[in-house]
């Protein structure tokens, strides 16, 4: 009987510890998905950004007013900067893995930091693209 109780206690402890690891793994997977969802939301806009960068550059050809040229140059620069932010984020982002040797807490902190970085990228991409699209639309209506 003592052996059965001992075996039951060992199995219970193993089960509890295993559930904790699975819980952390589920939390980690959820967090990675949240961060990557932001990336996946804006990554397809990269082609649209390049397209509008080219449209803005083409608009410059017929413009002689220095203020307008400056405005167009600034918008081209914002699109390029937002694109570079995305490329930089992708180069620096490292998908968490068990081989990294980081604790669960360290990995979650890393993902929190990366989420903040990709939000900055998203906001820069969205705002620069919205402004460029508005400018191209306004020039077409002139």
Express each pLDDT in 44-57 by its tens digit.
Answer: 999 999 999 999 99
Residue pair 53/82 in contact by the 8 Å Cβ criterion: no
Question: How would DSSP label each residue in 68-106?
Answer: HHHHHHHHHHHHHHHHHHHHHHHHH-----GGG---HHH
With a cut of 70, say whether residue 3 has pLDDT above it. Answer: no
* Band of pLDDT at residue 21, cut at 50, 70 and 90: low
* Band of pLDDT at residue 100, cut at 50, 70 and 90: confident
Q: Identify the residue with better confidence: 86 or 63.
A: 86
């Amino acid at each position: 009987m003592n052996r059965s109780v001992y075996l039951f206690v060992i199995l219970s402890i193993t089960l509890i510890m295993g559930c904790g690891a699975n819980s952390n793994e589920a939390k980690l997977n959820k967090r990675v998905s949240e961060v990557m969802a932001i990336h996946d939301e804006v990554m397809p806009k990269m082609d649209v950004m390049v397209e509008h960068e080219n449209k803005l550059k083409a608009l410059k050809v017929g413009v002689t007013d220095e203020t307008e040229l400056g405005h167009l140059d600034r918008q081209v620069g914002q699109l390029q900067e937002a694109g570079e932010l995305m490329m930089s984020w992708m180069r620096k982002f490292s998908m968490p893995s068990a081989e990294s040797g980081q604790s669960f807490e360290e990995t979650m902190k890393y993902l929190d930091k990366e989420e903040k970085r990709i939000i900055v990228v998203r906001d820069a991409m969205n705002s620069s693209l919205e402004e460029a699209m508005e400018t191209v639309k306004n020039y077409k209506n002139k």
